């Protein structure tokens, strides 16, 4: 693939990724706004984040397997349509239960789109720059979060969360554009295609079992800590005594640090390799989470919040580059999708855990220490079980 084609694919898939991040980021601000409007308890707030992750787990598994059957591009379009339309319908919700049900389907679209997009891009670029391109794809996530923070700061206080949510539904139009602009790479297909169950079993056969175990642990710890921390970030700042509007502004300031996190990871991933980038950035995430939980002043909150965004999102970029490189084409979508689906269990547990712990009056300091410990488990998994895949040729 030539440079122009790579840039076009990166941009088109990247904007799909940006829209995903816009929805996830906006949800964190909507949850904080709904607390007052619907008088939600902290447990209910946790459930709204977890319901989305349940949908993401189902979507990652189902659409990852489907991508190996009907192709990456068509599944990418389908998932984008699912979460865009779901976001539009969510503005009609008038109760916690209805909103939660809609968020399940939105989450299914989100969970399916992310691993499928990274797999498509991984298979379409040269090995020597594949890692950098995939991390740059992930960097669009920061753009989506920044836009969501801007919408939350300027739109939600004046016009309400429904207007903000409606904006994300307009991304459905983009799905039609993708359908005609992305051309999936031709893959060799045997006349006898493996069954669904054969693909699922294959990721646990001896050539891939070690990599699968490593990925499942890594995905779980990263997703558990990310969604547990970031979906609660605006609410945690309110708990610490800052107003809703000010907390939105502070999260916006922290979110900007995601971009240099991605760009430095993209630069280093072809120099250090996948393993070292993951280990270093996850270690930075763990330390930042610990000190953020212990922060007592606004200056320390903003500093360690920005460092948390920098390191955590850089690690996410490396994760999406690393995951598809573990498997051959026949089971790449299945393997990546299953790892992402297992990771989404962490995304279910994380937000719920925070809600229950806050209800039990557990301190924010202890909560963030728990996330620090989880990230360290992920570091150990990569260090012991992971193999370096830099330069590996993908069939």
pLDDT tens-place string over residues 58-76: 888 888 878 877 777 788 8
Q: Take residue 75 and report the two structure tokens written for it.
A: 């599944």
Enumerate residues 6+ apart whose C-beta is below 8 A from 178.
Answer: 12, 16, 73, 76, 77, 80
Q: Take residue 81 and report the two structure tokens written for it.
A: 């349509």
Whole-number Å distance between alpha carbons of 59 and 74: 14
Whole-number Å distance between alpha carbons of 234 and 40: 15
CA nearest neighbour of 315 among 359, 290, 281, 356: 281
Helices (H) and strands (E) in the chain, counts: 17, 0
* pLDDT tens-digit series, residues 3-18: 657 777 788 878 878 8
Read off the pLDDT of each residue in 207-221 and give the average, rounded to a whole number: 95
* pLDDT tens-digit series, residues 104-122: 998 898 888 877 777 777 7
Whole-number Å distance between alpha carbons of 157 and 248: 10
Mean pLDDT in the chain? 84
Read off the pLDDT of each residue in 91-97 and give the average, rounded to a whole number: 89
CA nearest neighbour of 186 among 98, 120, 116: 120
Contact indicator for 123, 324 with CB cutoff of 8 Å: yes
Read off the pLDDT of each residue in 30-37 and give the average, rounded to a whole number: 85
Whole-number Å distance between alpha carbons of 182 and 193: 24
**At residue 22, does pLDDT exceed 60?**
yes
Angle at the Cα of 373 (from 372 to 374), degrees rounded to 5?
Answer: 90
Percent of the chain at pLDDT above 70? Answer: 92
Coil, helix or strand at residue 12: helix
* pLDDT tens-digit series, residues 296-350: 888 998 999 999 999 998 999 889 889 888 888 888 878 888 898 898 889 888 8
Distance of CA 234 to the CA centre of its chain: 18
| C-alpha dist (Å) from residue 2 to 15, 65, 185, 322 | 20, 29, 13, 23
In this prediction, residue 340 carries a pLDDT of 84
pLDDT category, 193, cuts 50, 70, 90? low
**At residue 393, does pLDDT exceed 80?**
no
**At residue 42, does pLDDT exceed 60?**
yes
pLDDT category, 186, cuts 50, 70, 90? low
In this prediction, residue 277 carries a pLDDT of 95
Contact indicator for 31, 9 with CB cutoff of 8 Å: no
pLDDT category, 365, cuts 50, 70, 90? very high
**At residue 209, does pLDDT exceed 80?**
yes
pLDDT category, 25, cuts 50, 70, 90? confident
**At residue 379, does pLDDT exceed 80?**
yes
**At residue 142, does pLDDT exceed 60?**
yes
In this prediction, residue 194 carries a pLDDT of 65
pLDDT category, 188, cuts 50, 70, 90? low
In this prediction, residue 50 carries a pLDDT of 83
Whole-number Å distance between alpha carbons of 341 and 198: 18
In this prediction, residue 109 carries a pLDDT of 87
Enumerate residues 6+ apart whose C-beta is below 8 A from 229.
Answer: 289, 308, 312, 350, 368, 371
Where is mean pLDDT largest: 40-44, 233-237, 309-313, 319-323?
309-313
Q: Take residue 331 and report the two structure tokens written for it.
A: 């089971």
* pLDDT tens-digit series, residues 255-276: 888 889 888 988 898 889 989 9
Coil, helix or strand at residue 188: coil
Read off the pLDDT of each residue in 44-66 and give the average, rounded to a whole number: 85
In this prediction, residue 215 carries a pLDDT of 95
* CATH architecture for residues 3-178+203-385: Up-down Bundle (1.20)
For the chain, the straight-line distance linking the first and the last C-alpha, in angstroms and rounded, comes to 14
pLDDT category, 178, cuts 50, 70, 90? low
**At residue 373, does pLDDT exceed 60?**
yes
Whole-number Å distance between alpha carbons of 11 and 119: 15
Enumerate residues 6+ apart whose C-beta is below 8 A from 2.
Answer: none
In this prediction, residue 192 carries a pLDDT of 57
């Amino acid at each position: 693939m030539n440079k122009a084609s790579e840039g076009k694919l990166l941009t088109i898939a990247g904007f799909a990724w940006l829209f995903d991040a816009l929805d996830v980021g906006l949800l964190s601000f909507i949850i904080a706004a709904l607390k007052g409007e619907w008088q939600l308890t902290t447990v209910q707030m946790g459930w709204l984040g977890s319901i989305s992750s349940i949908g993401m787990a189902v979507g990652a598994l189902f659409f990852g397997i489907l991508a190996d059957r009907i192709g990456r591009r068509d599944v990418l379009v389908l998932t984008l349509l699912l979460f865009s339309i779901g976001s539009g319908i969510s503005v009609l919700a008038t109760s916690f239960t209805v909103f939660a049900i809609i968020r399940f389907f939105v989450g299914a679209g989100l969970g399916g789109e992310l691993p499928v997009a990274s797999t498509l891009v991984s298979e379409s670029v040269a090995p020597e720059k594949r890692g950098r391109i995939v991390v740059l794809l992930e960097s669009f996530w920061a753009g989506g979060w920044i836009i969501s923070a801007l919408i939350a700061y300027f739109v939600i206080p004046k016009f309400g969360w429904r207007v903000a949510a409606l904006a994300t539904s307009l991304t459905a139009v983009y799905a039609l554009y993708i359908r005609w602009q992305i051309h999936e790479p031709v893959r060799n297909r045997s006349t006898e295609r493996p069954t669904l169950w054969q693909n699922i079993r294959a990721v646990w056969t001896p050539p891939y079992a070690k990599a699968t175990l490593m990925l499942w642990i890594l995905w779980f710890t990263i997703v558990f800590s990310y969604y547990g921390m970031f979906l609660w970030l605006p609410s945690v700042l309110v708990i610490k005594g800052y107003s809703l509007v000010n907390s939105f502004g502070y999260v916006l300031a922290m979110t900007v640090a995601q971009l240099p996190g991605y760009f430095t990871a993209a630069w280093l991933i072809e120099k250090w390799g996948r393993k070292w980038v993951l280990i270093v950035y996850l270690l930075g995430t763990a330390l930042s989470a610990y000190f953020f939980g212990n922060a007592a002043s606004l200056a320390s909150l903003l500093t360690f919040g920005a460092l948390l965004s920098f390191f955590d999102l850089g690690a996410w970029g490396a994760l999406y580059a690393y995951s598809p490189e573990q498997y051959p084409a026949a089971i790449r979508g299945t393997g990546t999708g299953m790892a992402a689906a297992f990771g989404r269990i962490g995304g279910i547990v994380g937000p719920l855990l925070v809600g229950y712990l806050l209800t039990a009056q557990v301190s924010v300091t202890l909560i963030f220490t728990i996330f620090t410990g989880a990230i360290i488990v992920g570091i150990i998994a990569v260090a012991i079980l992971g193999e370096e895949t830099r330069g590996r040729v993908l069939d």
